Amino acid sequence: MPKLSFPKEKISILLLEGIHDNAVADLADHGYANVTRLPKALDEQDLIEQLAGVHMLGIRSRSQLTEKVLREADKLMAIGCFCIGTNQVNLPVARRLGIPVFNAPHSNTRSVAELVMGEIIMLMRGIWDKSRIVHEGGWMKSAKDSYEIRGKVLGIVGYGHIGTQLSIIAEALGMRVRFFDVQKKLALGNAQSCRTLDELLTLSDVVSLHVPDTAQTRNMIGPEQLKAMKKGSYLINAARGSIIDIDALADALKSRHVLGAAIDVFPEEPAGDADEFVSPLRNLPNVILTPHIGGSTIEAQANIGNEVARKLIEYSDNGSTMGAVNFPEVQLPVRESGVRFLHIHANVPGILRKLNEVFSSRGLNMAAQYLQTDPEIGYVVFDVDGEVDDQEILADIRAIDGTLRARVLYDRRA
Ligand SMILES: NC(=O)C1=CN([C@@H]2O[C@H](COP(=O)(O)OP(=O)(O)OC[C@H]3O[C@@H](n4cnc5c(N)ncnc54)[C@H](O)[C@@H]3O)[C@@H](O)[C@H]2O)C=CC1
Ligand SMILES: O=C(O)CCC(=O)C(=O)O
């Protein structure tokens, strides 16, 4: 067994929000057994308390990792978002603190696209209300406001992983797809791009949102945009609750300008299953409300558990940051011998020279050096052979001005 600067059994891992068993099993297989799991998200104060002494944290979409939470978490070295979105983490602050954040960018893509496809049919047939009436003992055998989806225009806002997946499925079922994206995107199949969001809104029978939460997408669907939508059209949001002005949507639904909606994500979401969900959309006709379960399938959760656990393990074992969303990405070969140091620093001139001096002044043989930078930080990994006093070197590299974090990852000298 290689000697580690910090034994794995002491690496404390906290997993929140019911992360899949696969993650725990993979971590245990790699020697990380010091894992605490909680089924729900925590509020800011509870999170700060629970994070004391925690080295790696796993969350889903509900935990809010604010600047305050991150700054208080003095032992935290890596974060795994067991989902796609990472807007719940203050990524720049995490970067400045030298904490890489990992996610699973594709693992639940298909699950979201399938849910949305199903909802389009349900909405255009008014199934939600018809089913409710039958459950209550009634009977409403009517074709009013019921349409085939064949030939209808689906407008996809955000033509990324989920948007394109949906595009393919919708075309296979006979829909015509238009999309709007801020980036130039390859149109799949017969899909056609729109030059503006307004153009898409005026053309579409169904609008489905698949953009991330950013400053540009917040409230991108407000009263004006809802007005621009075709009368009698439908709106779907399985992206983020911040994207739609929810009161304006409630008004558009009440006036029947928008004939139905399927909403999976909300500006305010309960922290746990026992908390009340409050929204102006409750009890409106032909509105499907789901509790942020777009990515909640057995397949997606199992895959996400494996994928994010693997990224955390690779970072902790080898220093690899491949797949980090806020950090320079370094892919490192595993070495069977030598000592590996990692150093995260502010990207200011002269640091690399000072780091190299620490090794060269001792006449050490540098077996390899891996460096990646972004405009704010630098991440460098040193593999060193020979007689090394690793704790002395660690103290020296930590003392360099601009250092954010430094660690001895392992010592594999015979
Ligand atoms: N309901 C759920 O359970 C889930 C929700 N999501 C949400 O779905 C979002 C999209 O996921 P992916 O498709 O994987 O992301 P992605 O990054 O592959 O695609 C997003 C697309 O939106 C485009 N975009 C960004 N800003 C835009 C703007 N202002 N106007 C138009 N287009 C814009 C981007 O260029 C990109 O093509 C995630 O960010 C996440 O918030 C993801 C998974 C599950
Ligand atoms: O499953 C979750 O908790 C979050 C899903 C989601 O919104 C995402 O992957 O971005």
pLDDT at 1 over 50: no
d(C-alpha 230, C-alpha 256), whole Å: 11
For residue 410, CA distances in Å to 117, 338, 366, 394 come to 49, 8, 15, 12
Instruction: Give first-to-last CA distance, the chain, whole Å.
Output: 10
Q: What ligand is nearest to the CA atom of residue 291?
A: 1
Instruction: Pick the atom of ligand 2 nearest to 294's CA.
Output: 5
Q: Residue 378's beta-bridge partner residues?
A: 345, 373
pLDDT in tens, 376-388: 999 999 999 878 8
| Amino acid sitting at position 308 | V
- pLDDT, average across residues 158-164: 98
pLDDT at 224 over 70: yes
State the Cα torsion 303-326-73-53 to the nearest 10°.
Answer: 50
Residue 5 has a pLDDT of 61
- pLDDT, average across residues 127-137: 96
> Exactly one of 95, 176, 178, 240 is catalytic; which is it?
240
> Exactly one of 96, 292, 340, 407 is catalytic; which is it?
292
Ligand 2 pocket test, candidate residues 19, 59, 61, most atoms within 8 A of CB: 61
CA 182 to chain centre: 20
What does the mean pLDDT of the chain come to? 95
What's the pLDDT band for 32 if we cut at 50, 70, 90? very high
Question: Please, what's the b/e burial string for 291-325 (b: 16 or more CB within 10 A of its CB; e: otherwise)?
Answer: ebebbbbeebbebbbbbbbbbbbbbbbbbbbebbb
Q: What ligand is nearest to the CA atom of residue 109?
A: 1
d(C-alpha 262, C-alpha 307), whole Å: 29
> Exactly one of 44, 72, 171, 269 is catalytic; which is it?
269
pLDDT at 3 over 70: no
Interface predicted TM-score (ipTM) over 0.90: yes
Residue 304 has a pLDDT of 97
Residue 113 has a pLDDT of 98
What domains can be seen in the chain, in order of their start residue? 1-108+298-327 (3.40.50.720), 109-289 (3.40.50.720), 329-414 (3.30.70.260)
d(C-alpha 235, C-alpha 371), whole Å: 46
Question: Would residue 49 show up in a list of annotated catalytic residues for this protein?
Answer: no
d(C-alpha 78, C-alpha 51), whole Å: 12
Residue nearest (by alpha carbon) to ligand 2 atom 6: 83
pTM score: 0.94
